[in-house]
Structure 1
Amino acid sequence: MSGQLRVGQVYRYASGKNPDPPILDGFPNFHHVTHSPKLPRALLEAGINGMAKVHTLHGDRRPVILIRSSPWKAGTEQTPWHDIFDMDNGHVRYFGDHKATTPVEPGKTNGNAALLDVFTGHQGRTPGERANAVPLLLFRAVSRSGKVKGHVEFCGLGIIERAERLVQWGGSEHTTFTNYVYDIALIDLTTEHDKLSWEWIESRRNKSVSDASSLELAPRAWREWVKHGNSALPRLRRRVARAKVTKVPEQRPKPGTIEAKDLELIYKYFDGRKHDFEAVASAVAARVLRGSGNSYVEGWLTRRSGDGGADFVGRLDIGSGLASTGLVILGQAKCVKPDSLVSAEQIARVVARLRRGWIGVYVTTGAYSVPAQIEMVEDQYPIVLINGLDLARELRRMARDDHGGDLEACIEHILTARETAVTNRRPEEILLE
């Protein structure tokens, strides 16, 4: 009997690839769950693992592509990119397999070629075309017992929404190279209790089973997508209903980590010159707000003031053409000791400055108290909170992408453009630009 993959479950992925026993070292055995008698094994050896196509009466069909992300490799010469997994909001940003040392064109590598072909199928205009579309099963490597290899977490079933070419830094020479990045929507599996039956994949591997017959075994949300297309993705996307409160220790870097060292560097860099920190806060806020594919325009920094109000202004654009609108972003920057807490009163002062339709962003080197977060959730404050850990991570990524990993050079680059951007204009003027 076929097994089931459960979202969030960690599986043991042993090098021996033996389907027995069902439980291995205290974890479900990946090769047992995905075992199909008399068929080749499902593998996660590469980042992008395309299962061999089968020849059906109605044409070729690729059963599935299994994607594995290895966060422990992120930022290395081997894997210079950082994949983003936002499982609670049903979004994954995954980088392709082209590297600085790859001799072929970016779209001709095995992984990118497979995903670009999948993307074409995911853009199918008819239910018949989408019935043949390839499911993406996403995994990420996790560490267990001090080991970074041999364990993977199942992250869900995905559909590629967008494929984009971009330029990255990488290689031993820190040169630029072109790669693809894919925005992937994770599909809701609530009806299946967050589980995916391997029986569906087995049916897709059977050349005698038609696309329509195989579809009957697919998760409900996948069948809905096949029927209605990408316009249905907003309601079919995975969403996790949970209290949006993050404990204070989870907002701070662990001692001795690169994030802890970076955050200490950032705090000391701006200690005594807190007003300069506003430029960095504005740049980080822009990067965060663009992270899910949003269009964001950086505006300006405000003049020095002691009222605890806005420190920077930006604009978030939603939609396109006539079907679009702009939202004013009002930002607050607070450079404090990394062990400091931002209180509910401090957040409330920023919210008090917001007009209808405006959004606040609060960026700090510290953390947000639990009472402050609870008040924000209960009162439905339209504000984005960026803590010290997130700040350090985003600046490190900016340094890696544009400054060869030199964090101070990244900060200095941001500050060079600051003076010309300082003004006392009214925030709503950003809507006219």
Structure 2
Amino acid sequence: MAWDRFVPDEPRHLRVHDRLRYARGAGQNEREFENHVNYHWLLSPAALKLPRVMLEAGINTPAETEAVDGTRRGLLAIRSSPWKAGHESNPWHDEFDLDHGHVRYFGDHKPSTEGMLGSTKGNKALLEAARLHSGTTKDERLLAPPLLLFRSITVHRDGRALVKGHVEFCGAAIIERVEHVVQRDPESGLSFPNIAIDLAVVDGGEVDGIDMRWIDDRRNPDLTGAETLRHAPKSWRSWVSQGKGAIPGIRRRVLASPVRSPAEQQPMPETAEAIVLEKVYEFYDGRKHAFELLASQAAAEVLQESGARYKAGWLSRSSGDGGVDFIGRLDMGSLNASTPIVVLGQAKCIKPSSSISPEQVARVVARLRRGWIGVYVTTGFFSKQAQVEIIDDQYPVVLIAGGVLADTVRRMAQANYGGNLDELLASTILQYAEAIAHRRPEEVLSL
């Protein structure tokens, strides 16, 4: 029976941040299930007579399609479960920055996994997809499966918090980079290898998402790869045509005021990040100079998220620092073609409810030379005027407030101390004295 007789004609839009009900008991005919859009209807309507696209694993691999022009996989469905982070089943912490179109996702190699990287079903599928996503020809990119990203969320119904059974759509993505990493199991303390992938979430155009008929087409054996692009986002079509060079122009970007409120700069109350931030403040209260080392380490993590290479320098002396607490170096470019940039850092451990004034930020700005950048790290938040002055005068200063700091420190503890925050904080006290040096900032360029 011809496929076209079953393909729904009307668009089925799936938008970023849409909340879906993912339930085993839901059918594929029902548009809604328990007051939410039914995931199974949206991904695999009954009319298509296709198997469901399940989200039981982190990396889900629907069956390949034997199409008229060759074999292709219609999609990879990726699910991140933040509430599982730190457990044996998910000892890592995925990073989602949807406003800037970036996701960092960790593979499914676990502490108990035997065999080499790529031996697990999920990692094998990611590596196969990465090969196609890095393809240098249009034909390779036509075969590349889009990664549909979902994140488990908690919803409240009848006064109860439901942790399972609901997901949020986070966009369609292209694999930009694959990295081999070593992670630590927070329960056993043992290290294990894994892969981490950096994903570019593509722009969803006017609907800020995708038309699911695109995915239907990719699973349609009667269509060629080129024909499956008819309902694809314009951004995806541009990438297929132009390749890697198109990614900066097709990445999802949310235009918002760069000035952030105090609430936007701090973690939500009673969250794990809020607990971390309060613990950091209490730990360094009375020994705030040692906070400079933690700030330096956190700044390195944040700056490296851009893909640049960061090299730690040293801490300045506690007196007479002139507005600079730590020095580092950022290497921009490839290993064979790069330029070093001096990084001047300021650290301020204050109550999370307190703000940093324009005058305090200006101390770092005053020390910057042409081609240098500044980083200001605080447990508090930056006042509106401090942010406005940085933006209006286009000063190259990265502002790291309490929310970003807490999230970064939490990930550092998970990656290097088995999730033990106390051990991480204690290590800064032990290493503080050795990290101090009396040197000119520009000397970091020769390290």
TM-score normalised according to structure 1 size = 0.94
Quote the offset at 1:65 in angstroms. 0.6
SS at match of 1:42: coil
Distance 1:375 1:22 in 2: 49
Q: Which moved more, 1:60-69 or 1:361-370?
A: 361-370
Quote the offset at 1:256 in angstroms. 4.1
Give CA-to-partner distance per residue, 1:342-389, whole Å, 9 cap, x none: 112211222222122211111111122233223333332321111223
Quote the offset at 1:258 in angstroms. 3.6
Preserved CA contact (<8 Å) 1:106 1:178: yes
Quote the offset at 1:395 in angstroms. 2.0
Relative to 1, partners in 2 of residues 1:171 and 1:384: Cα closer, same or farther, differing over 3 Å? closer
Q: What is the aligned partner in structure 1 of residue 145 from structure 2?
A: 134
Quote the offset at 1:273 in angstroms. 1.9
Give CA-to-partner distance per residue, 1:17-58, whole Å, 9 cap, x none: 323442334332222222332111222221111111011233
Select the residue among 57, 74, 86 that pairs with 2:97. 86
Matched, 1:285 2:294: no
Select the residue among 249, 260, 270 that pairs with 1:235. 249
What is the correspondence of 1:58-73 to structure 2 with a 5 Å cutoff? 58-73=69-84
Matched, 1:313 2:327: yes
What is the correspondence of 1:32-431 to structure 2 with a 5 Å cutoff? 32-36=41-45, 37=47, 38-145=49-156, 146-170=161-185, 172-190=187-205, 192-305=206-319, 309-321=323-335, 323-431=337-445
Letter in 1 for 2:169: F
Distance 1:340 1:28 in 2: 42
Letter in 2 for 1:143: T
Distance 1:256 1:157 in 2: 31
Relative to 1, partners in 2 of residues 1:237 and 1:254: Cα closer, same or farther, differing over 3 Å? closer
Distance 1:31 1:84 in 2: 26
Q: Which moved more, 1:414-423 or 1:380-389?
A: 414-423
Preserved CA contact (<8 Å) 1:67 1:136: yes
Distance 2:346 2:96 in 1: 27
Give CA-to-partner distance per residue, 1:243-298, whole Å, 9 cap, x none: 12332123334444443333233223222222221111111111111124321111
Q: Which moved more, 1:379-388 or 1:64-73?
A: 379-388
Quote the offset at 1:202 in angstroms. 0.9
User: How many residues are treated as equivalent by the alignment?
Assistant: 432
SS at match of 1:261: helix
Q: What is the aligned partner in structure 2 of residue 12 from structure 1?
A: 21
Preserved CA contact (<8 Å) 2:76 2:148: yes
Relative to 1, partners in 2 of residues 1:411 and 1:63: Cα closer, same or farther, differing over 3 Å? same
Give CA-to-partner distance per residue, 1:87-144, whole Å, 9 cap, x none: 1111110001111112343311111011110001111111111111111111111111
Q: What is the aligned partner in structure 1 of residue 3 from structure 2?
A: none
SS at match of 2:136: coil
Relative to 1, partners in 2 of residues 1:309 and 1:30: Cα closer, same or farther, differing over 3 Å? same
SS at match of 1:14: coil
Distance 2:306 2:321 in 1: 32
Distance 2:286 2:356 in 1: 19
SS at match of 2:118: helix
Distance 2:404 2:263 in 1: 13
Preserved CA contact (<8 Å) 1:294 1:316: yes
Letter in 1 for 2:196: V
Quote the offset at 1:231 in angstroms. 1.9
Give CA-to-partner distance per residue, 1:142-195, whole Å, 9 cap, x none: 1110222222111111111111221111164221111111111111222x4312
Letter in 1 for 2:167: V
Letter in 2 for 1:117: E
**Structure 2 alignment gaps of length 5 or more:** 1-7
Give CA-to-partner distance per residue, 1:403-433, whole Å, 9 cap, x none: 2222222123234333233223221222222
Letter in 2 for 1:83: D
Distance 1:224 1:325 in 2: 31
Distance 2:37 2:357 in 1: 43
SS at match of 2:216: helix
Relative to 1, partners in 2 of residues 1:130 and 1:106: Cα closer, same or farther, differing over 3 Å? same
What do you get for the CA RMSD once the two structures are aligned? 1.9
Distance 1:199 1:49 in 2: 19
SS at match of 1:222: helix
Distance 1:120 1:140 in 2: 25
**Structure 1 alignment gaps of length 5 or more:** none
SS at match of 2:105: strand
Give aligned-pair identity as a percent: 51
Distance 1:367 1:7 in 2: 28
SS at match of 2:315: strand
Distance 2:195 2:135 in 1: 20
